[in-house]
Amino acid sequence: EVQLVQSGAEVKKPGESLRISCEGSGYRFTSYWINWVRQVSGKGLEWIGRIDPSDSYAHYSPSFQGRVTISTDKSSNTAYLQWNSLKASDTAIYYCARPRQSLPLHAFDVWGQGTVVTVSS
Amino acid sequence: EIVMTQSPATLSVSPGERATLSCRASQSVSGNLAWYQQKPGQAPRLLIYGASTRATGIPARFSGSGSGTEFTLTISSLQSEDFAVYYCQQYNDPSSFGQGTKLEIK
């Protein structure tokens, strides 16, 4: 079974750093880009960016460029989303998602369960 | 950045009736358009890709149409499990979502 399993909920203070993870299984991890999507409570979906696990090339939405870093570890089939200095406005659910074809751009047919990130002083 | 606009924000429909949801792109996305369903506490679920192709396991009552900048998701006969929030997504350049349409029971 193809799955993306994300790390657990996090509670952090403003200014702290954080890295959340997304582990892929049931498929060849390096063949499919991994995307990250944000959902603020009660709001819509926002595309953050994507990474090619085969060479770690990452592409970001202009809205998130410079605010987050996407990376991967091929040896553990894991993708990461990282912040160096969290803000309260980063409070949201973060999903990783895999496209249905091994192309840079396609619809997302496999989603992680989501990681809740809460940033509060 | 391509902006996706969905309408209406909320749609009230009775079970058994037809629902029509719209999505407009600020510039052409060709046929690179997907629709997702999201229920409370769950991740989004892919319904339609390529503007009109149903994803695996999606019932035939869901259909998509359109190309370029105008797209439609139609649910032909609403079942109780269809009441949810629906999002469109363009994956042409590179990716962005609409703000969602909440489909509620009338």
Express each pLDDT in B19-48 by its tens digit.
Answer: 999 999 999 999 999 999 999 999 999 999
Three-class secondary structure of residue A75 per DSSP: helix
Residues A4-24 have pLDDT tens digits of 999 999 999 999 999 999 999
Q: How far apart are CA B90 and CA A107, in angstroms?
A: 8
Q: How far apart are CA B63 and CA B73, in angstroms?
A: 6
pLDDT at B47: 98
Smallest CA–CA distance, residue B92 to chain A, in Å, is 7
Residues B47-75 have pLDDT tens digits of 999 999 999 999 999 999 999 999 999 99
> Among all residues of chain B, which has the CA nearest to that of A6?
B43
Q: What would the mean pLDDT of A74-88 be, rounded to a whole number?
A: 97
Q: If you ran DSSP here, which 8-state letter would residue A68 be given? A: B
Could A106 and B49 be called an inter-chain contact, meaning their C-beta atoms sit closer than 8 Å? yes
Residues in B touching A44 (Cβ below 8 Å): 87, 97-100
Q: What would the mean pLDDT of A64-74 be, rounded to a whole number?
A: 97
Closest CA to A50 of A85, A29, A81, A77: A81
pLDDT at A42: 87
- Paired strand residues for A25: A3
> Among all residues of chain A, which has the CA nearest to that of B102?
A44
Residues in A touching B56 (Cβ below 8 Å): 109
Q: Quick one: pLDDT band at residue A105, thresholds 50, 70, 90?
A: confident
Count of CB contacts below 8 A, A vs B? 66
Max Cα distance, chain B (Å): 38
Residues in B touching A99 (Cβ below 8 Å): 91
The dihedral region occupied by B68, where left means phi > 0, alpha psi between -120 and 50, and beta the remainder, is: left
* AA letter at A40: V
Q: What would the mean pLDDT of A50-60 be, rounded to a whole number?
A: 96
Smallest CA–CA distance, residue B103 to chain A, in Å, is 14
Q: If you ran DSSP here, which 8-state letter would residue A21 be given? A: E
Q: Which two tokens stand for residue A20?
A: 């959340």
Q: What would the mean pLDDT of A44-51 be, rounded to a whole number?
A: 97
For B10-74, give the DSSP string: EEEE-TTS-EEEEEEESS--TT-EEEEEE-TTS--EEEEETTTEEPTT--TTEEEEEETTEEEEE
Q: What would the mean pLDDT of A71-79 be, rounded to a whole number?
A: 97
pLDDT at B76: 94
- Residues sharing a CB contact under 8 Å with residue A37, sequence separation 6 or more, in sequence order: A45, A46, A47, A48, A94, A95, A96, A97, A108, B97
Q: Which of B1, B45, B99 sits opposite A62 (nearest CB)?
A: B1
Give the rounded distance of the alpha carbon of A62 from its chain centre: 16
Residues in A touching B94 (Cβ below 8 Å): 47, 50, 59, 61, 104-105
